[in-house]
Amino acid sequence: MRYVKIWTTSDMHVDATPSTERQWDLLRPLAEELKELGLTDVKLNEHGYLIARLSSNLPAGTEAPVIGFMAHVDTSSDISGKDVKPQIHENYDGGVIRLNDQYHLDPEEHSDLAKYKGDTIITTDGTTLLGADDKAGIAEILTALEVLINHPEIPHGEIEVIFTPDEETGRGMDRFPVEELRSTYCYTLDGAEEGEIEGECFNAFKVDVEISGQVIHLGTARGKLKNAVTLAAQYITMIPQTESPETTDGRYGYYCPLEVSGSLEESRILIFLRDFELSEIHRRIEVLKSLGSTLEKLYPGICVKVTPEKQYLNMREHMDKIPQGLKYLEEAIRRVGAEPKYEIIRGGTDGSRLSEKGIPTPNVFTGGHAYHSRYEWAVLSSMAKASAVVVHLSELWSK
């Protein structure tokens, strides 16, 4: 509850890391909490990456691989994350939860709610997101550390804790000091439904489309004006609508025009491309280029520049490098009374970027739901189980 009240929304339009000063308002207190818990080597660098270590409690001469647990401090800019007022609903009765006079959390629309009748549900007040993505993960890691420290009879090797900024912008790992990590394997706590394991995510590219038109006084524009704003609108309507986020699910990828801006002379469209297969990403890039060429032929004299840029790749290929990492995760989930179930992420995490950098990092459930929306909610019992999973993983790797 304390973490979600801190405004940490990131900003994809800012190249600095962290992209917003407000992320420091959580990073700095977290560094102090880790020190107070007794972790060593607590380091918060100039880019907002927080790394700390819990020393091994294994007998002298006993070695175990170093493992890491990671979460991100920022929240999405899709809806306001300022002045979050979390609401606690104890002994949930299974019915509609009133967020405010206008918005309600209805189990008819959020079917997973029905599973948690009698549980404690944490929601927003309907005016902001909640921030369980990913402050639930942070709370679960901190709780697990406290358990391990207070129960020295639970064996564990050295554990690294990693908190990062700017995950929601897709650039959260751009300046990450991976050379400072000792971890052989890592887990992000940034998933959703209880029991879920995510070892596969989208490949993600962004595409900048810049359109240069031709300007003349509007009073003499007939047959001469090539309005870059109108051209941007036309370009967007040419993108296949059957391959959009709102028309796809499962393993189907999409184009998503995210932003458009401009003037008579120049306009810019930001498009996100997502797919589990890299070949499909490249196909869509070629389609966007061909749409630009088509527009240039229709309106001689204009220029359409299409510039793709990789954001992150599917972590799937990295999971087989150390197969026991997922086996231990399955075992840890069973130990807390849940059933492990593999899901694909129609998105990405810092874990996908860390996997690219050589440390396999699957994603673990946190108990949060309906992320990036005013309907976001979290389940207290699922959060407790996620924290217990961290404890069990620490013990399993020690063996």
**Residues with a known catalytic role:** 74, 167
Beta bridge partners of 40: 53
Neighbours of 260 (CB within 10 A): 17
Neighbours of 320 (CB within 10 A): 11
Amino acid identity for residue 35 in this structure: K
Amino acid identity for residue 117 in this structure: K
**If we measure between CA atoms, which residue out of 235, 244, 240, 228 comes closest to residue 294?**
235
Whether omega before 86 lies within 30 degrees of 0, making that bond cis, reads no
| DSSP codes joined into one string, 43-105 | EE-TTS-EEEEEPP-SPTT-----EEEEEE--B-SSS--SS---EEE-S--SSPEE-SSS-EE
Geometric angle at alpha carbon 126, from 123 and 127, rounded to 5°: 125
Return the structure tokens found at 310. 């990789």
How far apart, in Å, do the first and last CA atoms of the chain sit? 35
Return the structure tokens found at 172. 């959260």
Helices (H), the chain: 24-37, 132-150, 228-238, 278-298, 324-335, 350-356, 380-398
**If we measure between CA atoms, which residue out of 178, 185, 187 comes closest to residue 47?**
178
Q: Give, in order, the Cα–Cα distances in Å from 341 to each of 166, 192, 364.
A: 28, 12, 11
Q: DSSP assignment, residue 322? A: S
Place of tokens 């560094």: 31
Q: DSSP assignment, residue 2? A: T
Of how many residues is the chain composed? 399
Distance (Å, rounded) from C-alpha 265 to C-alpha 225? 9
Neighbours of 261 (CB within 10 A): 11
**If we measure between CA atoms, which residue out of 362, 353, 51, 314 comes closest to residue 174?**
353
Return the structure tokens found at 352. 């996908």
